[in-house]
Chain A
Amino acid sequence: MNRREFLQCAAVMVSGMTASQLGLALSDAQRAHLATAPNYNAGKASYLSAAQRRILAAACETIIPRSDTPGAIDAGVPNFIELMVSDWFNATERAIFDAGMIDLETRIPQQYGMAFDRLTAPAQRDILEALESAASDHPWYEFGNVQRDFISDAPFICQLKELTIWGFFTSERGAKEVLRYNPMPMQFDGHLPLSPNDSTWAGVVES
């Protein structure tokens, strides 16, 4: 049930208006609603070069690969990260990101003879695991260190992981096809059985 259908049902319950009347009454106003905005990760990014985009996409896909469900590339994560780096990062964070990208772009061909995105999946994973191993003492990894906006001095690999995971599970495909999404539950059940393979609900609930 989308917002408009729900509102029409609700309005019929509440005011006795017919659904068609309400649809007409709300159509203009609804255009300003966040729920009808375009997906954020469909925005046009212009921060990276084509070569860097290929590297970033390969790195995101190494973190969250396609399996029987969509992966990072399917969910639009690389473009999300490019938008975040150009529009949301501060100068400190952007400098760390830029240096990390340049490192992958220049060091990998010297060491492996080809670009990061041309390597096999296991080789790509080895490279990122080495970066993680080198960064593993950083407070980013401390248990429970999640209630914050962002850690400005987090190493490149931590930036990549945080933005990939965040960008994936808050994306439309991540939320609907990997997690479970139900915007209008209609009732509360505190005893829903959970099977070992079930996903969490999408969406962070504030009280």
Chain B
Amino acid sequence: MSDTINSTQYDFDAIVVGSGISGGWAAKELTEKGLRVLVLDRGKPIRHSVDYVGEHAPSWKFPYQAKKPRELYAEEYPVQSRVTHSFNEATRHFWNNDKQNPYDDNPDKPFMWARADVVGGRSLIWGRQTYRFSPQDFQANASDGHGIPWPVDYEEMAPWYSHVEKFIGVNGRKEGLAQLPDGEFQKPMPWYALEETIGERLKKKAPDVTLTNSRVAILTEDLPGRSACHYCGPCPRGCSTGSYFSSQSSTLPAAKATGRLTVIANAVVERLIHDPATGKISDVQVIDTQTGERASYSARLFFLCASTIGSTQILMNSKSDAFPNGLANSSGALGKYMMDHALGTSSMGVFLDNMDSYYSGNRPTGLYIPRFRNLQGQDEDADFIRGYGYQTYTVRMDWSTSFNRKGFGADLKDSLRKPGQWLWVLSYFSECLPRESNRMFLSPNKVDRFGIPQVAFDFTWSDNEINMQADAGRQADRLMKAAGAVLTLPGGTDMSIPGEGIHEMGTARMGNDPAQAVLNKYNQAHDVPNLFVTDGSFMTSSSCVNPSLTYMAFTARAADYAARQLAEGLI
């Protein structure tokens, strides 16, 4: 695309708010199409590799030899430290300080908001699970009447999934399953011997399920500028070799290489300015987190990629006479229909097979059991609609899982230093229905240190999610027996706390009807032609698979559409 679209009348051609999974993709695609792009992020600036200060740190270097600093976490990181196992002294610099940047949590209806606070966002600390939505997922709302229909189908998205997968690098195994479409995969990571044992047994005794490699955005083959996984772990500390996909390792460098990228860190977006004369967004207003100084930047195109909650907060705080209920909210859907995957341990099984088989290297993911319920219509014995999948983990127990034992001396030392039994864990992730009553809103009386209203939540699980958790437990028991567990420990009975899935989405849903949806099928606001929202906000339904790949595919597609509209003078 030529540079003729550049206009000195504007500071930039496009402004992207956020630099995580979606923002990085928006920056890459828009700069590669010839646009001068400004990326704004409220987080700290961070340099790929150089600033991964926790990478490869051994336990004896950690404060308290890796026992967690409890007082500090309770005082300053009460949410982040509980929402994920990845939060520790090797990763803490990536995360939001809850004391510094609070939200208005209702103790009667708690919501956990996992937030990053660096350029690169949660792409640095994500779980890297990478799945396509299925044709059935895109049809779900239309067929059972929950939510509104998706304005796109799988066929339309498939080429965009491929486009993203080829760039990010996904390893996995092709299975030919309708409910989990195959993608462009690098060679899959190897299995533990026990997993092969379990896989064979499940084929015989539970043929209705498939045990396959989890599909993860981690390289098993080199890509330009990134090298294959070294199995060092743990990933969330950052990866100098760029083996896992993050904005820092992949999309931001690609955008930077065009010479058309500007990144401003420590920049909190206060609001977008809507010009009633043109009907478009003219400027973004930001506050410097370090100095408190305000600035504004103009552009022809605006992409909100600040995370579901972040982008929705910005839209809600950008009220004007034209939009008294929040920017681009003539539908009234903004903030509503929020979803998050419910998740939990369904079963833990102890195995005595393959005891003389061990492993070398830290494989940074487990295996996956794709959805197997309600695939051909409603299963007769299912008291819920839609379904769930299991992420499975194989663990060889060791001293750290059995130190609370009796005994002293050489015998104790010797038994503690040797491997214990194998443990195989089934963790379910279930689809969440879009419901109007699950919502986020601006706190009526609490503001943050910048004077911006804090966000608040009203989110509860419905019977559908609750029944699904019970079913996931029953089915996991059946699968553990089939797999040959000698002992099973049931999972918890409590539902996960909303937000704990770290897959919050849906608060600016897309749909064909402007009266019911905030965005159209290209992630463009129905009400504001030069405004696009491409993070999880746009999600019309949630599927049960991890959503990041879908955010990336829709972002790439939206950027393509927006750049063409801009070139044709339609925006």
Contacts and interface: CB of A to CB of B under 8 A. Distances in A.
B56 A170 contact: no
A146 B413 contact: no
A207 B127 contact: yes
A145 B191 CA distance: 29
A35 B58 contact: yes
B275 to A, nearest CB: 44
Nearest to B65: A170
B383 interface: no
A40 B64 contact: yes
A80 B65 contact: yes
B282 interface: no
B364 A207 contact: yes
A207 B189 CA distance: 14
B409 A146 contact: no
A65 to B, nearest CB: 6
Contact of A63 (B67, B71, B366, B412): B412
A169 B242 contact: no
Contact of B360 (A67, A83, A188): A188
A206 B85 contact: yes
Interface string A170-207: 11100100110111111111111111011111111111
A141 B418 contact: no
- Which applies to chain B's interface (DSSP): helix, strand, loop or mixed? loop
A112 B562 CA distance: 85
Nearest to B91: A206
A187 B368 CA distance: 21
Nearest to A186: B230
B9 interface: no
A175 B528 CA distance: 59
Given A34-B54, A39-B60, A186-B361, A205 B233 contact: yes
A15 interface: yes
A63 B361 CA distance: 30
Interface string A84-116: 100110100000000000000000000000000
B404 A178 contact: no
B232 A185 contact: yes
Nearest to A194: B358
Nearest to B63: A40
A192 B366 contact: no
Interface residues of A, number: 84
Contacts of A83: 64
Contacts of A187: 231, 360-361
A57 interface: no
A35 B55 CA distance: 7
Contacts of B49: 7
Most buried by B among A32, A36, A129, A190: A190
Contacts of B362: 185, 188, 203, 205
Interface in A57-76: 62-65, 67, 71
A165 B406 CA distance: 12
A34 B53 contact: yes
Contacts of B88: 206
A146 B401 contact: yes
B404 A62 contact: no
Nearest to B189: A188
29 contacts: A3-B55, A7-B49, A7-B240, A14-B242, A15-B225, A33-B53, A34-B53, A34-B90, A35-B61, A64-B413, A67-B414, A90-B70, A132-B406, A136-B406, A140-B404, A169-B417, A170-B66, A171-B59, A175-B59, A186-B231, A187-B231, A188-B231, A188-B359, A188-B361, A200-B417, A206-B85, A206-B236, A207-B364, A207-B365
Given A67-B414, A186-B231, 9 more contacts: A13-B222, A14-B225, A35-B57, A88-B69, A144-B489, A146-B404, A172-B60, A193-B357, A202-B58
Interface of B: 47, 49-51, 53-71, 85-86, 88-90, 127, 189-193, 195-196, 222, 225-227, 230-236, 240-242, 355-366, 393, 396, 398-406, 408-410, 412-414, 416-419, 489
